[in-house]
Structure 1
């Protein structure tokens, strides 16, 4: 039940549900991560951190550049088609998000001399897109009658803010430098320059839009001798300072003090650290198998706090309390012909999101990832690659015993009880061209 103070709704009570669970998960990996950084990565389910051969392995381990004889440039696109739905007390509902999302996949490798190399990757390692219609969750539907004059303004206001559109587009520019310690061992150091191109977190009564920049670093190493290779890659955590605008869509709720007025706002978005370990073995000259383990530090994603620029007011504060999560990845490459390579992959990714703070913004759960693809040499240094991945979420039959108390945060409450299903289709297309080195 909402609380009245001097005939007004409590602003604190309603603010907790404005953007509840605004960043919950993505379509392809745990949390809101998108680990598909190249077309070869899509096909091998991202098991590439120990691969010294493929150009598409460089975004997963920049130290691999030291094992390439030539400089090269690669450009492509990742297409993501997610589907989310929930069955609850009011029936079956589908998320009304975009049919297909597009992300860049650009890589460059420059051989400076026998020891030194430089690289650049441009990709989208984090992202989010979902939209729910306002009648999806029955406990959040309806209105509250306000006291008539002279005690109040009369009329009605929405009973609860409905989670509607959630969109997050983050581009990572990753310049790196690689040093070959020996013919068998190389190390790399680089920067992660995160650009939150778009952050849109809307409800039925508010809008929040903005963009921002964050900085991090990455370290990697790769050892390769004979048929065996092993790699490690680490990306630090980072905080993106998102600056934007907060808009109150219901003037009556501003008038009675239930919502803050429209104003500019700030959000600190914490991105997790990522650690990847991998080992690869060439069973035959044509067939190679790789196993990777990835640990993502989602425990750093503890709280979302939006502050307005009017008197430094806190417009929203939400505790996420996610856990660190693992992913287990198996990839295989098979050289069908001298010019043609087939690729296959499987991954199991754990969710960091427990029931205590479960969010309907995009319901997250453990998932299976299946990849397949091909790389084909066109001659004269040109290479064409294509990959497809199917992401199958485990069904999440969410039932909470925590009652929804009107204006409190909807995350982890019975307001969003339901049976959630999700899947996604990913397509990668990429073309690359090699050049003579130094």
Structure 2
């Protein structure tokens, strides 16, 4: 009787242990780095396990790409099926349950290509200019009033004094003429960034030198800015604006195209837009010497962070699904090459089941729309647009 009781206790222990399975593993990219916030779906395989033991769990990987879960059932769990997504493809592991009841299931997924943002180079600008003062046949020249871009340098200067002589090195040369008369003096420059400029002036030398009237240099300025879209908005920078070396910018006014502006003389402000779209952003500057300049650029917030170009070969494009992952409200930006295109927009799960749909008409250009997704359970989904030209989709995750 004692041996029978001992065998019964062992059988009960083994049976309980077989009903609880610990699942753990990792999701890494092709470089071996753990992928955080990746959804992993864990289910029992009812074709092998007891049909009464049907379990579906979702787990999210931690900051290092790891996940773990514990499955418990009144019946035996014999086999699992574990899923995750890799660049639009569902990966499946189906490990057997070992005697330890601990299952490890690891995934290696694709690495999305980095987004490269190319900004246009600031304009190359330069203006050659010189001053002079004469005494008898001696003339002192100065090129300090020459204007170049703040991020450029002069690498070549050439003086032509009008008497068949030249100077190729001096910034402020002194030249002595053999006799009085009228001379056409030219000064030319070349910068490291390839900008070239030339100016010529007529100099009259008298036996008795009259007072020399020096014309002040022209006041020039060119407003310019670059921008970089970021997760929390757009970062602007105006330090590439061009002004005279002896001048300073005293006023900067930013107009962000969505009704907001900044008048606080900010060099590099950041601005948060509430939704995706196209915005006409303008910068106006004013210098201490009274020069004013204005520039406007179109900023497009979408799937690619540069102005969207479509064609008849890509008549409909999903520009952006935002935010992603999403809690309740999802904004979609869809671009159409044609006007008044009948379309059905829908949300489907990873198994192709349609969860929501709506028929709309797409206008030419960007079409923005909001959808309440609070009714969806947590997991991966696809936003799809079906038209006569075919179907396009975009993956998002519901938290």
What is the TM-score with the length of structure 1 in the denominator? 0.18
Larger Cα Rg: Structure 1 or Structure 2?
A: 2
More strand, by proportion: 1
TM superposition score normalised by structure 2: 0.20
